[in-house]
Amino acid sequence: MNFEYNKSLDSKMLKELYDEDYEYAADMFETFLDYVVPQFDELYTMLDSENREELKKIAHKIKPNFTMVGLPFMQDKMKAIEIGALEEPDFTKVRNQVQEVGNLLKDYVSILSSDLEKLKQLF
């Protein structure tokens, strides 16, 4: 059986990562939705308090998970946030980067949730 991921995700990468192990793919999507999305929200708290060190730590911690759900370009954006947290003198730029990723993430949550439900039907 050949599952087709949502066209907004990097299907080629996902197929390389999971091949036909749809249960593993579903586990990763579920983990992302249950743990990474809420952790991303912590970035807003760090922005409000201008806690650059914690902002960097959280961005670093969740960064690799974006590739595991077919969003490698978001990993690059998280890397920019991670670096900018400590190195960007204009904190407004970092704030804007977090907001941009947050807005994109909101759009992708429904896509990932939909693919997760479809994946679960395969096992």
State residue 113's pLDDT score: 98
Q: What is the CATH number of the domain that holds 54?
A: 1.20.120
In a domain, 5, yes or no: no
State residue 85's pLDDT score: 96
State residue 2's pLDDT score: 82
Residues 6+ apart with CB under 8 A from 101: 40, 74, 77, 78, 81
Which structural domain, as residue segments, surrounds residue 82?
Answer: 11-120
The number of folded domains in the chain is 1
State residue 31's pLDDT score: 97
In a domain, 54, yes or no: yes
CA dist., res. 26 & res. 112, Å (int)? 10
Burial of 87 per CB tally in 10 Å (0-12, 13-18, 19+): exposed
CA dist., res. 119 & res. 31, Å (int)? 14
In a domain, 63, yes or no: yes
In a domain, 4, yes or no: no
Instruction: Specify the pTM.
Output: 0.92
In a domain, 80, yes or no: yes
In a domain, 50, yes or no: yes
In a domain, 1, yes or no: no
In a domain, 6, yes or no: no
What is the pLDDT tens value at each position of the chain, 123 positions in all?
789 999 999 999 999 999 999 999 999 999 999 999 999 999 999 999 999 999 999 999 999 999 999 999 999 999 999 999 999 999 999 999 999 999 999 999 999 999 999 999 998
